[in-house]
Structure 1
Amino acid sequence: RRAHGSAFSASAPVQKVRFRFLSGEEQVNEFESRPGKYRAFCRRCGSQLYSRVDAIPGILRLRVGSLNEPLGKGPAQHVYVGSKSDWFTITDDLPQFEKTERTNDPH
């Protein structure tokens, strides 16, 4: 919650080889938020774009809220519900996980 300033963050794993910027790549800055974890932001507006970790090379965690085009997919699950805000109630029937679905996912 602290990293995103929100009750939740909608993100999706993307293979780096399948991802490309159509424009504005020169406006993207990455910084190392902790050893081996990098967060990318737009220099102009500050929007979070993706994160990546050295432990999983070739994968970006794309912040899907930054996309203009429809994804054609909806949410699949709720992760890290063990640390969700007490003022936010999950009202759907999607699977919920206290931490992450995969034990090797450091995002």
Structure 2
Amino acid sequence: KQCQRAHGSAFSASAPAQAIHMQWLIGADQLKEYASSPGKYRGFCGRCGSQLYSRVDAIPAILRLRVGALEKPLGKIAAQHVHVAAQSDWFQITDSLPQFDKTERTNDPH
């Protein structure tokens, strides 16, 4: 529900990225963060307000990028649906991707 409220949508499309491999080419001075809950932070553009990523203290090396904010295609397809126990009653998942009630930690970096 937290992502639904933050995005004003039925879900959030995000992808994990290793923070050590991230480099902001422009606008790094405009990045802002706020603590949306204890140990969880949402990063956004301080100029336009676009959400760019989230991160959690429990996994400091990973950023969850908001893929809708990326300029170039990822070259990847969706892999799974998480937090489906809290899905909106007005949106139904109709594909055959795996579904999980909460975030599943896998060894797959994609």
- State the TM-score, normalized to the length of structure 1: 0.90
Give the Å deviation of 1:69: 0.2
Q: Partner residue of 1:92?
A: 95
Aligned equivalents of 2:48, 2:38: Cα separation in 1: 25
Q: Partner residue of 1:63?
A: 66
- What does 1:24-35 align with in structure 2 at a 5 Å threshold? 24-35=27-38
2:33 maps to a residue whose letter is E
Aligned equivalents of 1:85, 1:68: Cα separation in 2: 28
Aligned equivalents of 1:63, 1:16: Cα separation in 2: 14
2:42 maps to a residue whose letter is R
Q: Partner residue of 2:11?
A: 8
Q: Which runs of 5+ in 1 are unaligned?
A: none
Q: CA RMSD in A?
A: 1.4
User: Number of paired residues?
Assistant: 103
- State the TM-score, normalized to the length of structure 2: 0.87
Q: Partner residue of 1:79?
A: 82
Instruction: Indicate yes or no: 2:51 matched with 1:40.
Output: no
Q: Which runs of 5+ in 2 are unaligned?
A: none
Seq. identity, %: 70
1:81 maps to a residue whose letter is V
Query: Which of the pair is proportionally richer in helix?
Result: 2
